Each structure stands twice: as C-alpha cells, then as structure tokens.
Amino acid sequence: MLVDNGVHGDSRVQKAARSAAAAGWWVTLLGRSPDGTPQRWRIGDAEVRLLPMGGGRAGGAQARRRRVVAALGGLRQPVERAYTRFWSVAMRERAWRRLEPSLWQYERAYGPVVDALAPDLIHAHDFRMLGVGARAKLRAAERGRPVRLLWDAHEFLPGIKPWRDNVRWLPAHRAHEREYAPYADAVVTVSDELARLLQAEHGLTERPAVALNAPDLPEAVAEPVPLRTRCGLGPRTPLLVYSGAAAPQRGLGVLVEALPELPDAHLAFVVNRPEGDYVRGLVARAGELGVADRLHVGGYVAADQVVPFLAGADVGVIPIEHWPNHEIALITKFFEYSHARLPIVVSDVRTMAATVRATGQGEVFRAGDVADLVRAVRAVLADPGRHRAAYDRPGLLAGWSWPAQAEVYDRLYARLLPAAAPTDRTDG
C-alpha cells in the first residue's frame, strides 16, 4: 500500500491498512517521512514504513529552472504559461517530466523498496502514487512476475485547487495521471459522482468501485478528552465545531464572521495546523470582532477517538466553498459528524447539501454568506432533536461506517488475486 504523506492524519489510509490486515491480507504501508529519517510502526496487523525523500537531480533541475524564471522578474507568469503550453503539446502525457520533475523523487524513494517487497498487489492511494505503482508493476512484468495495481483515487484532479501557486502544477499532475491510469487493474474512489467523472476522464471500461470516507467504529476506544472539556464549557453553552483541514477554500472565515450574530454560541476549530498562518489570521480576526473568548482552537485527536470527541458539540459545520471537488463528495467530517449524531450545517455544495436536505439531519446555507449561515445555525439550535432524529433511520449509520467500506476493499482484493483464498491470505 502506497501513500504520499506521513500516514498520521490520513484516516482513510489508516483504516484501509488496518482493515485489510484484519481480513487476512499481508499489508505493508509505505509513506513519506516528514523529517527525512526512516520510521516504522504498526497499525493493527499492518506494518507502516515511512521512507526518506531525497532532493536528487530532478529537484536540482527544477530549482535551477525556477531561478532562471525568477530572473525574468515581472514576466514570470507569461513565461511559465508558455513553458507549460510548449511541453504539454510536445510531450502530452509525458510532459510532467519537464513540468514537475520532482515527481521522480517518489520513484527514487519508493521504487526500490516496492521491488524488494515483491508484492502481488499494489494499492496506490491518490495521484502521485499511481505512477510509482504502475512503474513497479511494469518492472515486475519484465521479470516475469505478475503484479496487480489498485488505484485509490481520493480526488478528481481536474477539479482540485493546485497545492502550489504556479501554473505548471495542475497540468503536470494531470499528465502524470493520464499516463499511468491505464495500468490500473481496478479503481476505487470516494463517491458515486467521482466514480462517474473518473470513468469519463480516463475512458475506463468499468465504473470505479466506491468506498466512502466513513469512520471506523471499534467496539471499545480509550476515553478521549471531551471537546467541551477542552474548551472549558458547561453542558448548556451552544457549541459549534469545525473538524478538519484548515485552509481558505474550507471557508472557516465565515464562521468567525458569524460569531457576533450568535452571542451565546462558542466555536471550536479542531484542525490539522492550529498554529498555522491561516488559523492565526482567523484568531486575529476574532479579536478584532471582540469574540476571541468564544473561539477555541486545538489539534486533531486519534482517528478512533474523533466521533466520541465531537459528540459533545451541538452543531457540526461544513462551510466549504464552491470548488469542483467540494461539490461531488461526502467528505470525512460529514460522516464523523453523523456518527457523533450532530445536526449538520453545510454550505450549498451539491452532494452534501442534497444529502442533508434528503435526510433532514441539518440545514443548508449559501457558501460564504454570513447572514444565511447565522439563519441556518439558529434553525438547528432551535430544534436540535428534530435533526438528530434523522440518525434513527434504520441502516443509515451502518451504511456510513467503515466496516461496510472495508468489504468493498476486500472484494476488490479477492477479485484481483483470486488465488488468495481467505484461509491463505496471511501468506501474502
């Protein structure tokens, strides 16, 4: 199993590794070391190894190219666009080699380790690992050993906000994905809508399977510090919570702007970077508005503690803005709020808004509209029992849990490796 991050904080990858190993598959999860040193631990019966990433020739070449472009001063954007357009036409799917040569760093770090493990199945999470998995599959075939490749597409790449502020990033990664998508023996993704888009984007003969980003529900977990305790609040104080990544496109600013209009309510951010520049800016804005004492900021808790941790809140808020990927999925926090039985206030992004309206589990507001957010929060706080009752619908939360998604993975593994009968799976 391959992922391009440090595993911590990636609940989908953690759950996939743990549940596959629990089902009897021999799982090694390779991730990226955040500090350049090798690390090892276990998630259940799955081994985790974090690999150091080196700079290498590709990184140096990219740095030299940046220095040349920077020397041109105010002409940077036109030069970048011309450079991107030229290589995209000249090399098509192979253009990422010129536009984003740092992708080779993943090959150098992961490739030799994958080859040494000699897997029968490579489960590649998201777009960067797709190339690593495909090339490992090709090398194994040259040696006469068949390897199956499962691509786990977390995002619709054409609809993603670029992770770096340059014009090359998105065309480069799209080219990379187009080059290696045909080598996947099966594809799994996070929603029905994304499955449809991926099939159209890559001409897939088969609609990708869907494994939702649903929470795991172990029978027993260590008791977490309750959210209200972290915030120093009693049981009667209205508490709104946002749990997830903190970034401008997530729309957290509208929550801070709404606090003056919700004078009795407190707001908790449970975020990946509580000390980051974006969050510090939100805290500063809360101070300007005179509501800093009602904004509480803290970091993540362990994945198996998220649901009980959030359950003490009164409202779970998802204020994300209108980006293509935000329109098409039920995201992780949606399911975490649901299992915490929180009424949900969500912006009018297509899929989540439609689901909330259909189930009655919350209210929808216009993305970025402070007044409409205030209206939706007040409506939920006025009658929380009505919205919580939606979770009593038979089968709703069971279908939105990880055990149901783990069965999707297990069926895919068994289909790709039919010789690995359940009693034999621990042998690889």
Model confidence over 127-153: pLDDT tens digits?
Answer: 999 999 999 999 999 999 999 999 999
HEC string for 66-121: HHHHHHCHHHHHHHHHHHHHHHHHHHHHHHHHHHCHHHHHHHHHHHHHHHHHCCCE
What mean pLDDT is reported for the chain? 91
The dihedral built from the CA positions of residue 267, 310, 357 and 325, taken in this order, carries a sign that is positive
Return the SS3 of 365. Answer: strand
Residues whose CB is less than 8 angstroms from the CB of residue 309 and which lie 6 or more positions away in sequence, other chains included: 224, 225, 226, 227, 270, 301
- Confidence category of residue 426, pLDDT binned at 50, 70, 90: very low
What Cα–Cα distance (Å) separates residue 178 from each residue in 4, 127, 272, 328, 416? 18, 10, 31, 21, 22
Tell me, what's the pLDDT at 425? 45
Tell me, what's the pLDDT at 11? 87
Rounded to a whole number of angstroms, the CA Rg of the chain reads 23
Residues 321-354: b if buried by 16+ CB within 10 A, e if exposed: beeebbbbbbbbbbbbbbbbbbbbbbbbbebbbe
Contact 110, 134 (CB under 8 A): no
The kind and range of the H/E element at 375 are helix 370-382
Q: Which domains does the chain have, with CATH numbers?
A: 11-214+404-427 (3.40.50.2000), 227-399 (3.40.50.2000)
pLDDT digits (tens, 9 = 90+) for 165-223: 889 999 999 999 999 999 999 999 999 999 999 999 999 999 999 999 998 875 555 56
- Beta strands 315-318 and 239-244, pairing class: parallel
Interior angle at CA 392, CA 389 and CA 398, nearest 5? 135
Interior angle at CA 209, CA 323 and CA 395, nearest 5? 90
The kind and range of the H/E element at 337 are helix 332-339
pLDDT digits (tens, 9 = 90+) for 76-100: 788 899 999 999 999 999 999 999 9
Contact 262, 238 (CB under 8 A): yes
| Low-confidence winner among 63-67, 307-311, 372-376 (lowest mean pLDDT) | 63-67
Residues whose CB is less than 8 angstroms from the CB of residue 71 and which lie 6 or more positions away in sequence, other chains included: none
The kind and range of the H/E element at 317 are strand 315-318
DSSP state of 161: P
pLDDT digits (tens, 9 = 90+) for 343-368: 999 999 999 999 999 999 999 999 99
pLDDT digits (tens, 9 = 90+) for 291-333: 999 999 999 988 778 899 999 999 999 999 998 888 988 999 9
Tell me, what's the pLDDT at 212? 95
- Given phi > 0 = left and psi -120 to 50 = alpha, else beta, which region is 88? alpha
| Low-confidence winner among 1-5, 236-240, 420-424 (lowest mean pLDDT) | 420-424
Tell me, what's the pLDDT at 160? 86
- pTM score of the predicted model: 0.85
- Confidence category of residue 286, pLDDT binned at 50, 70, 90: very high
